[in-house]
C-alpha cells in the first residue's frame, strides 16, 4: 500500500485525525501529510502512504491556494471563528474598492506573526499548547510569500477572497492583520484549500469514499497515479537489469531525453522505484530508493 492519497478534509478534523483514520482504514502505519490544515479548514490534504512517505522532503516549500471569508468587526484570540472575541463586535460596512486596496498591501514578501494557537514550535513545544496554558508563546515574525490575494466580493462586514501563497503562510494571521490595519479587528471566518503543490480539489476523495474502497479492497484505486507526482521531474522507465542495480543503490546509465538534474525512475507503468540525480552525462545515481 504505497502511494499518494488526497483527502478532502472535513471541517472539525485535525490533520492528525485524518491521518489516524486513514491508517486504520488502510491497515498501514506509515502515513504522513504534505502540509497541515487547521481543524476549521476544509479541502485539499495530500497524504503520503507506505514507502512514498519519503517524498515529503520534496514538498516542504509547496505553494497553496485558498478560498475563504474574512469577517471584519472583531478579532479573536485564535484569529479564526473558533476563538473568543478579543473585543465587542462593532458594525462595519465595507466597499469592494477599499478592501481590495487593503489586500494589495499584503501581497509579495511580507513579515507575518504566526497565530498564538498554531503548531509553530517554541523551544520544541507547539505554540497552541502554551496558549492553552495562558503562557506567553513569544512568537517571532516570519517572512512569507503572498503571490496572489484577490478579493472576490464584499457583503457588508465580510470579504470573500482567493489567495495563492508560499509555504508557511497563515491565512488566519493575514485576516487578523488586515483587521488591525483597518482599525476594526477581523478574523478568518472560513477557509477551504483548493490546491497544494500539484494536487487540486478534483484529486480529492472523502473519508467515506476511502472507507468504501477499503471495504471492497480497491482503496489503492483512489491513489494519485505516481507518474503525476512531482511533475517538474521527468519520468524514465528502466529494464529489469537497471532496476536491480538501482534498488541496490548503484549508478546506472539512463536515457538522456532531458537536461533535468533529476529523474523519477519507474519499473513498469506504476511502480516508482527511485529518484535519481545526474552525476555526469547519462549516468545517474539513485538519490532516494523506494523499497519494494
| 82-127 residue pLDDT tens | 889 999 999 998 999 999 999 999 999 999 988 876 555 544 544 4
Closest CA to 234 of 273, 268, 276, 271: 276
| Greater pLDDT, 1 or 122 | 1
Say which of 8, 17, 38, 177 is annotated catalytic: 38
Mean pLDDT, rounded, of the chain: 91
Overall size of the chain counted in residues: 292
| Range of lowest pLDDT (8-12, 234-238, 252-256) | 252-256
In contact, 172 and 73? CB cutoff 8 Å: no
The predicted model gives 280-286 an average pLDDT of 93
Beta strands in the chain (DSSP E): 3-9, 31-33, 42-49, 64-72, 108-112, 121-122, 125-126, 142-155, 158-165, 186-196, 199-200, 235-237, 252-253, 262-267, 271-280, 283-289
Looking at the domain that runs over 233-289, which CATH code has it been given? 2.30.130.10
pLDDT higher than threshold 80 for residue 132: no
For the chain, where do the domains classified as CATH 3.30.2350.10 start and end?
3-62+198-227, 64-196
Read off the C-alpha cell for 108. Answer: 509579495
- The question of whether 38 is a catalytic residue gets the answer yes
Q: So what's the pLDDT on residue 206?
A: 98
Beta bridge partners of 144: 110
For the chain, where do the domains classified as CATH 2.30.130.10 start and end?
233-289
pLDDT higher than threshold 90 for residue 23: yes
The predicted model gives 210-222 an average pLDDT of 96
CATH 3.30.2350.10 matches 64-196: yes
| pLDDT tens track for 24-80 | 999 999 999 999 999 999 999 999 999 999 999 999 999 999 999 999 999 998 999
- Give the whole-angstrom CA distance, residue 248 versus residue 128: 44
Looking at the domain that runs over 3-62+198-227, which CATH code has it been given? 3.30.2350.10
Amino acid at each position: 500500500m504505497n502511494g499518494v492519497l488526497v483527502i478532502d478534509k472535513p471541517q472539525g478534523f485535525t490533520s492528525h485525525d485524518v491521518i489516524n483514520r486513514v491508517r486504520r482504514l488502510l491497515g498501514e502505519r506509515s502515513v504522513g501529510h504534505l502540509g497541515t490544515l487547521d481543524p476549521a479548514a476544509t479541502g485539499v490534504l495530500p497524504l503520503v502512504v507506505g514507502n512514498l512517505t519519503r517524498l515529503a522532503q520534496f514538498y516542504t516549500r509547496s505553494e497553496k491556494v485558498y478560498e475563504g471569508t474574512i469577517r471584519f468587526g472583531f478579532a479573536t484570540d485564535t484569529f479564526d471563528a473558533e476563538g473568543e472575541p478579543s473585543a465587542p463586535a462593532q458594525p462595519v460596512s465595507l466597499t469592494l474598492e477599499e478592501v481590495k486596496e487593503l489586500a494589495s498591501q499584503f501581497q509579495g514578501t511580507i513579515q507575518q506573526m504566526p497565530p498564538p494557537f498554531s503548531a509553530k514550535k517554541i523551544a520544541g513545544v507547539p505554540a497552541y499548547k502554551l496558549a492553552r496554558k495562558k503562557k506567553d508563546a513569544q512568537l517571532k515574525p516570519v517572512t512569507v510569500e503572498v503571490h496572489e490575494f484577490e478579493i472576490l466580493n464584499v457583503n457588508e462586514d465580510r470579504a470573500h477572497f482567493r489567495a495563492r501563497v508560499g509555504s508557511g503562510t497563515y491565512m488566519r494571521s493575514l485576516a487578523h492583520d488586515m483587521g488591525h490595519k483597518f482599525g476594526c479587528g477581523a478574523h478568518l471566518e472560513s477557509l477551504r484549500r483548493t490546491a497544494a503543490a500539484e494536487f487540486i480539489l478534483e484529486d480529492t476523495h472523502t473519508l467515506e469514499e476511502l472507507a468504501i474502497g477499503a471495504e471492497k479492497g480497491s482503496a489503492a484505486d483512489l491513489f494519485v497515479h505516481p507518474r503525476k507526482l512531482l511533475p517538474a521531474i521527468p519520468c524514465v522507465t528502466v529494464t529489469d537489469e537497471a532496476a536491480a542495480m538501482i534498488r541496490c543503490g548503484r549508478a546506472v546509465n539512463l536515457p538522456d531525453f532531458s537536461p533535468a538534474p533529476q529523474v523519477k525512475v519507474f519499473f513498469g507503468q506504476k511502480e516508482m522505484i527511485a529518484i535519481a540525480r545526474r552525476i555526469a552525462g547519462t549516468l545517474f545515481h539513485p538519490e532516494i530508493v523506494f523499497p519494494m
